[in-house]
Structure 1
Amino acid sequence: MTHPYFRLAVATLSLLSLADVHGQCHADLNGNHMVDNHDLLILLADYGQSCEDAGWHDPILSEIHYNPSTQQGTDSDHEFLEFTNPHPFDLHVGGWSVADGIDCAFPPDTWIEAGGQLVVANNPGMLDTLVPDFTPVLGWSGASGLHNSGETLRLVRPDGSVAQTVTYSDTNGWPEDADGGGASLEWLGLPHNNALSTSWVASSALGGSPGLSNSTWAD
């Protein structure tokens, strides 16, 4: 059996190698602008995973409200996207952006609390009474609203690489109740791939659950 201190030493060398080869920011796994013991613990927690599976820095697109019901009012006033931080540490997302369907650049000092959410909306003021006080709510630009028939949304890292691509639709197996029925699209959570229609369900709450854990996660 490999001694745990040997594994710790190997992991430490691996982390230092990442810093040497890729630069300090790439070894800053928790996004706090420094390489510290917390980064090492994150690396150890994901020991043995392939790089594409670890997802150390990535928030996840977890809710899409693209076609609110007439009961709610004007579509563009109530449409939103939600991103979840699935990690047990606060996540720095300054410099990240949403592209394609809508455009939204996250301000430099933007954080998502551990297990928390960030909301992007066409009319952020309409969500003030719905989201918790500590949840960031940002406004998007470049479009009047999300397309009711579906479109592609991309989550982009500060270096320009694409972290996630989700193409939602009102057909092709996507939940029908989210298409004008008052529900939002809610991601089922890990380990479900949010790029697949089968990983989404209609919310149980009218208007969805912006800034809150998805209604299906309690099931």
Structure 2
Amino acid sequence: MRVGITDPFYLTAVFIQSELSPGSIVINEINYNSNDDHESGDWVELYNPGQMEIDISNWVMKDDDDQHSFIIPDGTFINSDEYIIISQDLDLFYDNYPSNIPVIGPFDFGLGGGGDEVRIYDDVGALMDSVKYDDDEPWPIEADGEGPTLELINPTYDNSLPEYWTSSQQYGSPASQNTNYLDSDDEGHSALPDEHTLLPAYPNPFNGSVTIPFKLSSQTNSSITIYNVLGKEILDLPIGNLGPGDHSISWAGINQMGHPVGNGVYFVRLNIDTKNNSQKLVYLK
């Protein structure tokens, strides 16, 4: 939900539901609108959750337009429990991520910043997986140009449902386990954080907006407060009775009246019952 008197914050909530069976190949992460400071081009991560290597030669990736297609090259395999990236622009991708990441491409179309669909077909035209995402709730809104990617919280969950997607920490995790991965116990219920935790904000220092991720271990009535270096309250925002899991907010350097704040050091505090978590933020215009 979008909250705040002048919308200085955005909130993403992840709700835990039951585990689903994996498919042969899973669309596990999507970068559809990079941050200007980390322009890596559009890319899609495929994951093989099975026990056997899968030959994806001549498989096809499409968006929601059948005229837009990328044919995966001959000799392309994904080993068990491994990943491959399909990149719109290999040079941009490798300018921002390690050179040892397995990447194929380029594809000559872009993923929509206002919502789109990613579809994967096998070499005989059978649909193997698809994700129809949006840049508005209930989909995580931070992935639309703020830096994070769209991440599936567990590749065994139904990736057609927005509640199983979250925004990544920092700039995603191509070809590795997602940054907000939720494990499953033997009974098929998701493992939750052991305690309420305020995670490191990013980017920090920041000059536009800063993303502040946090974890909740139980249903909790929470609020976020921003203070300046003198201890004066800049913004107080109740964020409701959130469920357990991963959440994040984005602050654009705006006070309670909707006015921009000045350069300097600020402190963010996550207020949960009697326990407080705080950290320093540096704002540079």
Secondary structure of 2:61 counterpart: strand
Q: Deviations over 1:73-123 (max 9, x none)?
A: 4xxx42211101112332211121101344211112101122111111111
Contact 2:22 2:156 in 1 (8 A): no
Secondary structure of 2:181 counterpart: helix
Alignment of 1:35-184 (within 5 A): 55=23, 58-73=24-39, 77-101=40-64, 102-128=68-94, 130-131=97-98, 133=100, 135-141=102-108, 143=109, 145-184=110-149
Structure 2 CA distance for partners of 1:121 and 1:195, relative to 1, 3 Å: same
Q: How many residues were matched structurally?
A: 159
Identity of aligned residues (%): 24
Separation in 2, partners of 1:60, 1:105 = 17
Separation in 1, partners of 2:162, 2:182 = 20
Shift of 1:154: 0.9
Secondary structure of 2:175 counterpart: coil
> Which residue of the other structure, out of 180, 183, 186, is the alignment partner of 1:216?
180
Secondary structure of 2:91 counterpart: helix
Contact 2:26 2:46 in 1 (8 A): yes
TM-score by length of 1: 0.66
TM-score by length of 2: 0.52
Secondary structure of 1:71 counterpart: helix
Which sections of structure 1, spanning at least 5 residues, go unmatched? 1-52
Alignment RMSD, CA only? Answer: 2.0
Contact 1:131 1:210 in 2 (8 A): no
The structure with the largest helix share of the pair is: 1
Shift of 1:192: 1.1
The structure with the largest strand share of the pair is: 2
Which sections of structure 2, spanning at least 5 residues, go unmatched? 1-20, 184-285
Secondary structure of 1:198 counterpart: helix
Larger-Rg structure: 2
